[in-house]
Structure 1
Amino acid sequence: MKTLSVPHVTGWRPIAIILILAGALAAVARFALGLGATTNLSDEFPWGLWIGFDFLGIGLAASGFTIVAAVHLFHAKEYEPIVRPAILTAFIGYLLVVLVLIIDLGRPDHFWHPLVMWNPHSVMCEISWCLMLYTTVLSLEFAPIILEKFNIHSPIKWIHAVSLPFMIFGVLLSTLHQSSFGSLYLIVPNRLHALWYTPLLPVLFFISCIASGLSMVVLESLIFSRNGRPFLPTRLRANLAKAIALALAVYFVVRIQDLLTRGALHDLTTLTYYSVAFYAELLVGFVIPFALLIFEKVRTSQTGLYYASLMVVLGFAFNRMNTAITGLERYPSQTYFPSIIEIFIMLGITAVGFCAFSFIAEYLPVFTAEEAGAGQHRDAAPSVEKKPLFAPPECEDPRPS
């Protein structure tokens, strides 16, 4: 089975190294001087950029449980070639989220408290346990990739023998805490702006993470496409695009209906600090990509699907940051903008994620050139040329595979 090479990004490694070093120095300053001296957080605004980054990372890592559930629980075997990239994305994402949480904790040395000091009435208790358990499940799902690289096959057979219940458990855990992150903000009904506060926050968080997780899978598939022969056949990418469009439509209907039910739609009738942020989130992340994805020409176009999926991810980022930051501000009297140390730590951790993904995918059998077909023999695809990671695919292949 042939392994695809990792796309080459011209000049990105020196930049990533600089960001990682800057982030490491900023983290040292954070632990040496404390949160008060190094962040713009306060008693009035205790959660800021890092919590929003956690929401973003967890949501984008949703590709792990969505693809695993589709392939191994619902037997959509044609998507099997992207199971490993999805698991790698989720594994790195969850590890980085845990790292950010440790940095964000006022007493990081107490990270072990949820293990022995249970508070079943706290959403944070459930989230902590789900994060720890699901990261453990992801490590078990990722282990065969490492073992396969070093030709250690006996443990792989054992892992495969017990994998199904762990996969079911992992999907359940991920479903729980994807929605529970929205539940965190149910405790601030008088603080979070009406455009974002709703009892349906857990439902909206879960639906949006489905769209963003699948969009990440599509982006990864397109990034590894070359010469008119994508990593996934056009038909399968188009099917994923349909699922993304469906999730976007469900989200939009639920969101607008919720605003109507709560009488919050009038907040959008005038241009304000909050309405502009809301319109940017909804248009970029949901309305425009949905309008694009309903056309078959876009779903079967590498370039069109690339930009539509990228917009979903950007809109998802807007939504999480708006919920975590914008909706809690009292503009213009009480606003929050992260300090340079907060920004450097976030950028450094992001660079660590990209470097880890690039390194692991280059040296371990993550991206395998298998184009799966339902009930058909899967042939190895040709090796791939390198191209920039963030550039849209140059070749169009509108013909069904």
Structure 2
Amino acid sequence: MTAAKIIMNEIKGYHRFVKFLIVLVSLGALASLVRFVFGLGVTTNLNDTFPWGLWISFDVVTAVPLAAGAFTLGAIVHCFHIKKLEPLVRPAIVTGFLGYSLVSIGLLLDLGQPQRCWHTMVYWNPHSPMFEVSMCIMAYTTVLFMEFLSPVCEKFGYHVPLRLLRTLEMPLVIAAASISTLHQSSLGTFFLIAVDKLHSLWYNPLLPLLFWVSAMCTGISIIIVEATMSHKWMGQPDESELLETLAKILPWGLMTYLTIKLFSLFALTEGPLFNRPGLVVLFAVEMLGGVIIPLVLLMNSNVRENNRLRATAAWLVIAGVILNRFNVSMFGMEAPGTFYYPSFIETMVTVGILAAHVLFFVLIAKYFPIFEHHPETVDYSIPDSFHKTDKGQAAHGTAASEA
């Protein structure tokens, strides 16, 4: 049987939802091809008034914090030594790796001349936040790829590379946290130059700090939603006890964000705040639905212990951050009387990228051990192998040696 037939037989056995995702990814790939063939001017609604559209607002500015679970959880587990959360690390790393890989695709699609993307690595402009973000995204994607290699090596029994990866685990975690802190905040730095364009409800000098804190809150929320859905729809282990711990941490991040936001809004912001009713409504929905309501919910122990309510609060945080990034990068930048809406090609590309993220996560979870990594079942005394420790056999071996 040829490789093509094996793959086709495997696809036939997939769930209908997975097949639907494959169709969406194919349509997104076709739309991307159309964009590269005919160019940005023909296939998008971008112009001199709106040089950044859906691909930047969602595929980059929003997708980057949505992939922040890897560095957030890595720092919590390895830097603060909350080791019991380690079973959640690998799914978070996969989510982060997929997220940043697709962010890179979104950036290539939005470049007028994507064939010159390598110029960033050769012609440095250290004074530009775009240069810093592009370099950090490349570096962080590389770090996530190296972290993702551990389950790959375990799957195929590559013991020597696995030993090396375990040796590099802590340096990789530190590098990931440092690089992520830089570019998560620098995404906010982008908009500090838009003094006369970004509305005063969002423009303030602490925007980089707000972007970083909100990214950490989003990362924790994504992990909660991801683990809950993986258990419900994919039959993966129930990590409710671990998610309760994350749900206790999340309110502190939300309170920090709310404090900084209110301080910057009333003490540092210049210009009118409530002169545009539409933007005021968007701001109110963002703050109430994405920060205050989930904060109140998660301060209740009954909510933290209930899978559905805990996931609902996490979804609210995610929705709030998505709206915040659109408010900053799109709605808050629009002058009165102007309006941007994405073209069909822009929409299909974004739908394809979203579908690709879900599809690849499902396939990686199906074929690689990303949910089986529980520290209590792994023998770390032998760093170049991965196997479960049979306590009964270990005890029997000890008794035999003593005899």
TM-score (norm 1): 0.86
Number of the residue aligned with 1:37: 42
Number of the residue aligned with 2:320: 315
Tell me the matched-pair count. Answer: 365
1:368 lines up with 2:372 in the alignment? yes
**1:62 aligned to 43, 48, 68, which one?**
68
Number of the residue aligned with 2:225: 219
Q: Which amino acid aligns with 1:363?
A: Y
Alignment RMSD:
2.3
CA displacement, residues 315-334 of structure 1 (integer Å, 9 cap, x when unaligned): 11111111111011113x21
1:232 lines up with 2:239 in the alignment? yes
1:189–1:35 distance in 2 versus 1, CA, 3 Å: same
Number of the residue aligned with 1:255: 261
Number of the residue aligned with 2:103: 97
Q: How does 1:78-227 map to 2 (within 5 A)?
A: 78-225=84-231
Q: Which amino acid aligns with 1:322?
A: N
On the 8 A contact 1:79/1:372 being kept in 2, the answer is no
Q: Greater CA radius of gyration, 1 or 2?
A: 2
On the 8 A contact 2:200/2:272 being kept in 1, the answer is no
Q: Which amino acid aligns with 2:136?
A: C
Number of the residue aligned with 2:351: 347
Aligned-partner Cα distance in 2 for 1:47–1:144: 37
Residue 280 of structure 1 and its aligned partner are, at CA, apart by 1.5
| Structure 1 residue runs of 4 or more that deviate by more than 3 Å after TM superposition | 8-11, 224-230, 262-266, 369-373
1:336–1:9 distance in 2 versus 1, CA, 3 Å: farther
Structure 2 segments unaligned to the other structure (5+ residues): 1-12, 378-387, 390-403
1:328–1:76 distance in 2 versus 1, CA, 3 Å: same
Q: Which amino acid aligns with 2:303?
A: V
1:295–1:271 distance in 2 versus 1, CA, 3 Å: farther
On the 8 A contact 1:52/1:325 being kept in 2, the answer is yes
Q: Which amino acid aligns with 1:126?
A: E
Residue 18 of structure 1 and its aligned partner are, at CA, apart by 2.9
Aligned-partner Cα distance in 1 for 2:89–2:204: 34
Q: Which stretch shifts more, 239-248 or 197-206?
A: 239-248
Aligned-partner Cα distance in 2 for 1:40–1:372: 53
1:329 lines up with 2:334 in the alignment? yes
On the 8 A contact 2:236/2:371 being kept in 1, the answer is no
Residue 265 of structure 1 and its aligned partner are, at CA, apart by 9.3
Aligned-partner Cα distance in 1 for 2:111–2:195: 24
Q: Which amino acid aligns with 2:362?
A: S
On the 8 A contact 1:77/1:372 being kept in 2, the answer is no
Number of the residue aligned with 1:295: 300
**Secondary structure in 1 matching 2:273:** helix
Q: How does 1:17-36 map to 2 (within 5 A)?
A: 17-36=22-41
Q: Percent identity?
A: 40
CA displacement, residues 70-92 of structure 1 (integer Å, 9 cap, x when unaligned): 22222111001011001101000
Number of the residue aligned with 1:273: 278
Aligned-partner Cα distance in 1 for 2:322–2:332: 14
Q: Which amino acid aligns with 2:292?
A: V
Q: Which amino acid aligns with 1:13?
A: V
Residue 335 of structure 1 and its aligned partner are, at CA, apart by 1.4
CA displacement, residues 272-331 of structure 1 (integer Å, 9 cap, x when unaligned): 111111112112211111111110000011111011111111111111111111011113
Aligned-partner Cα distance in 2 for 1:29–1:178: 31
Aligned-partner Cα distance in 2 for 1:229–1:160: 25
On the 8 A contact 1:123/1:180 being kept in 2, the answer is yes
CA displacement, residues 343-388 of structure 1 (integer Å, 9 cap, x when unaligned): 1100011111110000001110011274869xxxxx99xxxxxxxx
CA displacement, residues 123-156 of structure 1 (integer Å, 9 cap, x when unaligned): 1111111111111111111111101001111111
On the 8 A contact 2:76/2:82 being kept in 1, the answer is yes
**Secondary structure in 1 matching 2:231:** coil
Aligned-partner Cα distance in 1 for 2:314–2:237: 16
Number of the residue aligned with 2:3: none
On the 8 A contact 1:259/1:265 being kept in 2, the answer is no
Residue 254 of structure 1 and its aligned partner are, at CA, apart by 1.1
Residue 239 of structure 1 and its aligned partner are, at CA, apart by 2.0
Aligned-partner Cα distance in 1 for 2:135–2:371: 30
Aligned-partner Cα distance in 2 for 1:353–1:181: 21
On the 8 A contact 1:23/1:344 being kept in 2, the answer is yes
Residue 33 of structure 1 and its aligned partner are, at CA, apart by 1.3
Q: Which stretch shifts more, 20-29 or 281-290?
A: 20-29
**Secondary structure in 2 matching 1:190:** coil
Residue 116 of structure 1 and its aligned partner are, at CA, apart by 0.6
Q: Which amino acid aligns with 1:350?
A: L
**Secondary structure in 1 matching 2:124:** coil
The structure with higher relative contact order (CA 8 Å, sep 6+) is 1
CA displacement, residues 198-254 of structure 1 (integer Å, 9 cap, x when unaligned): 1111000001001100001111221233699963242x3222112111111111111
Structure 1 segments unaligned to the other structure (5+ residues): 1-7, 374-378, 381-401
On the 8 A contact 1:232/1:371 being kept in 2, the answer is no
Aligned-partner Cα distance in 2 for 1:26–1:340: 9
Aligned-partner Cα distance in 2 for 1:276–1:242: 30
Number of the residue aligned with 1:4: none
Residue 166 of structure 1 and its aligned partner are, at CA, apart by 2.4
1:230–1:245 distance in 2 versus 1, CA, 3 Å: farther
Residue 9 of structure 1 and its aligned partner are, at CA, apart by 10
